[in-house]
Structure 1
C-alpha cells in the first residue's frame, strides 16, 4: 500500500472515530430543559448507596433526557421465563454510575467484570477512574494521549482504546486476554456470546426523542440512526423476546428488546428495541475478558491504533525480539478477520534456529491470547507469527483532533518483518520504502507464567 492510499484510509478511520469521541463525551442537545424535569423511573432497580453522580453528570443527563416521554398503561408488563435472559441474574452485578463522560469506561469495566465471573466463578473490582488514569496516563512512553488541560473524565473514548492498552497488563496482576469483535453478528450469535462471554460492550444511538418510560421500564428505539445520534456506550446483559413493542416512544415493528445497563441518568436497566440495528453502531461491539493467570507481559507496542495491517503476500511473517528469563506460556496478537489460522514460532534472537512451533486458530477477529501447548524456557528470544490477513502494527504519530493524539516509539532490534529470506527491521526507513508505508513495532506480546 502506498503512503497516499494509507493516508486516505487513515482519514476515513479518523472521521469515524471523531464521531466516537465527541459522542462519548455525553454532549447535550440544544433543546432547553425544563426547570424540574420528571425523573424517569427504572424497572426493578434502585440506585445503590455508593453510586455517585457528579454535578456535571447530573446537569448533562438532565438536559439530554428532557425529551423523554413517560407513559403508564392499564396492564403492567412482567416478563416470563421463555425467551428471557439477564446476565445480572447469574453474576454479582453492581449498578454503578459513570462520571461525567466515562460511559465507555463503565461499559468496558462491566463487560470485563461479568466475563471474569463467568470464567473464574469469582469477582474482581475494576474502578472506572483507575482505568481512565491507566488509559490517559501522561507518564507512559507511547499510546494515546490527551492534550494538556483536557478533562479526561469528560472527553470520551472507545472500547478499542481499552483493548489496546489493557492487553499489556494492568493493576499488577491482570491482563486483558481477549477483545472479540462482534460486528455484524446475528441476533442468535449475540445471545450465545452474552451467555458464554459476559456483557457486550457497544456504542449506541442515544437521542432523547427516541426514549421513553412505560410502567417503569426505561426504553429506546432508534431504527434509523444518524451520525449525530451516537453519544453513549453501554453493556448488553440479556434480552426479552416478549417485551411489548408498544413500550417504545418510537413505535417498534416487533416485540423484543435487549436488556442493557445504562450508567447514565436514569441509572439502571435500559431496554433497547430489536428494531435498533446493532450493525450501525459507531463503536465496534466487543466482548472483553481479563485474567490473572499470567505473571508478566512483554511488549514493544501499544496496539494498532487507527492503522491497517501490513501485507507482503498471501501470508506475512513478523517477529518481536524480547529479553526476559522465565517460562513463556502464551503469545498475544490482533487479527482483523474471522476464522483464520496462524503459525507461532519461538526463535533464537538472530532467527537462525526455531525453538518451538505451534499452529493456532482464531475463530473471530479481535485481540487473542494463544496458550502454548508446552511452555518454553526463555531468556533472549524472538516470537514470530505468520498471518494470512497481514501483520498488526503501530502506525505513525497523528493528531485526531485538538484534544487527542497518538505517539509511538520503536527502536532498532525490536520488531522485524520477513521478506524472502531476509528479516528487515521495522524501525528502519529502508524497510518502510520496501513496504510502501511507514510503521513502528509489530503488535506481538509474550506472556509468562512463573
Structure 2
C-alpha cells in the first residue's frame, strides 16, 4: 500500500523569507554605523576601558579566505540576500572542489525562480516584485536543477541537524555553507574591529548568509548578549561593502544549511516538475518512474534524496516500463539533490527512468496558494508513475484528496552535449 503526504520537504511560502527592503533609516543602521559600541557593553559603574584586541591563533581556526578560496563580495538589492548568498556559495564550491572561478548572476537566477513564462512553478502575486519578496536557498537549488541561465545544479547537500564538526568538514571540502539566520538589531555588537551576533533564541530566520570559516576560541565576551562558551562562525554577508564579514556565536541556531554545486556541462534537461514538495511512502522501498520521448545520449539522472544515507537504484527501461536495459546503484551521505552520472551513457529515444528508493520517494506534491504567492503543479497522463502492489499507477490521477495529489515523480533526464 502506498501512502501519500502533503507538502513537506520543499517548504511553503511561510518559509519564503529574506532580508526585506529597509523601511526607515533606522533599519539600515548596521550598514552605516556600528550596531553597538564597546562602551555600551560595560556596566554603568565601570570606569575601566576595555580593549578588544583578540587575535586568533592557528589552533581551532579556519577561513576559506585565508586558504585562498575567497569569492567576490556581492551586495544585494532590496530583499535578495537569499539568492545573492546562494550564488556566492555556488562560486565558493567551484573554487574549492574544482579550482574553477565561475560567476553566477543572482538576478538572472532570481528571474528564473519566479518566472511567469511557464505554466507551473512558484508565482508571486501581481503586485509583488521578486527583488522585494524574498526566498531561500532551496528555491534557488530546485530552480537550477532544471537549469537556469545555462547553469545546472549537480548537487545540493542539506546539512540540517549536522554536528558542528560535520559543518566544518562541509566548509573545508565543499566551500561556503549557505544558511538562514536571524538579523535582529538588538543582538548585534561591535567589539574593537569585530562585528558580532549572538542570538540563542533566533530560530526563525529573516536573512541569508554564508559560513566561510570558524574560530573555536573566539571570545565569548565579544557579543552583546554574552555567550556561554567561546567559538564562532565566520560569516560572509551581502548587505553592504563596508561590513562584509562578521562573527556569529556557536550558540546561535543555524537554519537550513545547504551547499550547492553547479556546472555548465551537459546538454538538454528534461523534467516534469519544478520542485520536490512532498514524498510518497511505499514501505521499505518506493519505486517511481518517468517516461521520456527525447532522443539523444542520456548522461545522467537527477533526483532528490529525502534521508541521509538513502540508497537508490536507477533503471533505464523501455517506454512500456517492462524491459530493464540498464541499472546502476547509488547512495548519498546527505539528503538533498543529486545528479547521478551514468557509468555507461545510454543512447535513448522513447524510454523510462525508474528509481527504486530505500524508504520514501520524492514527488512534486500538491498546489499551494496564499495572498502573496502560489505553487502551481501540472501533471499529464502517461508521464509519471508509482509502483503499487506490483502495478504501475499513473501519478496524474488524484488518488486521494486533491491536497495530497502527488503529481509528477522527481526524476530528471540529463543528456550529454551534442
TM surpasses 0.5: yes
Shift of 1:75: 4.8
Shift of 1:312: 2.5
Aligned to 1:359: 329
Aligned to 1:272: 248
In structure 2, the CA distance between the partners of 1:297 and 1:33, relative to structure 1 (3 Å rule), is closer
| CA displacement, residues 314-340 of structure 1 (integer Å, 9 cap, x when unaligned) | 211111011222221211111111112
Aligned to 2:412: 445
Structure 1: runs of 5 or more not aligned: 35-59
| CA displacement, residues 186-212 of structure 1 (integer Å, 9 cap, x when unaligned) | 111100000101110110122111101
Shift of 1:178: 0.9
Aligned to 1:338: 308
CA distance in 2 between counterparts of 1:12 and 1:160 reads: 8
Structure 2: runs of 5 or more not aligned: 40-49
Are residues 1:68 and 2:35 paired? yes
CA distance in 2 between counterparts of 1:75 and 1:201 reads: 29
Aligned to 1:40: none
Aligned residues: 405
**Structure 1 or 2: more helix by fraction:** 1
In structure 2, the CA distance between the partners of 1:386 and 1:95, relative to structure 1 (3 Å rule), is same
CA contact under 8 A between 1:205 and 1:231: conserved in structure 2?
A: yes
Aligned to 1:236: 211
State the secondary structure of the residue aligned to 2:229.
coil
Aligned to 1:204: 181
Shift of 1:436: 10
Are residues 1:135 and 2:113 paired? yes
Q: 2:266 aligns with which of 291, 294, 300?
A: 294
Shift of 1:129: 1.2
CA contact under 8 A between 1:113 and 1:123: conserved in structure 2?
A: yes
Shift of 1:313: 2.7
Shift of 1:135: 0.7
Shift of 1:11: 12
CA distance in 2 between counterparts of 1:323 and 1:61 reads: 53
Shift of 1:27: 6.3
Where in structure 2 are the equivalents of 1:179-258 lying within 5 Å?
179-225=156-202, 227=204, 230-258=205-233
Shift of 1:10: 6.0
Where in structure 2 are the equivalents of 1:102-117 lying within 5 Å?
102-117=80-95
In structure 2, the CA distance between the partners of 1:273 and 1:10, relative to structure 1 (3 Å rule), is closer
Are residues 1:159 and 2:137 paired? yes
* Deviation larger for 86-95 or 101-110: 86-95
| CA displacement, residues 230-261 of structure 1 (integer Å, 9 cap, x when unaligned) | 21110100101222211111111222110011
Superposed CA RMSD = 2.6
CA distance in 2 between counterparts of 1:311 and 1:2 reads: 6
**Structure 1 or 2: more strand by fraction:** 2
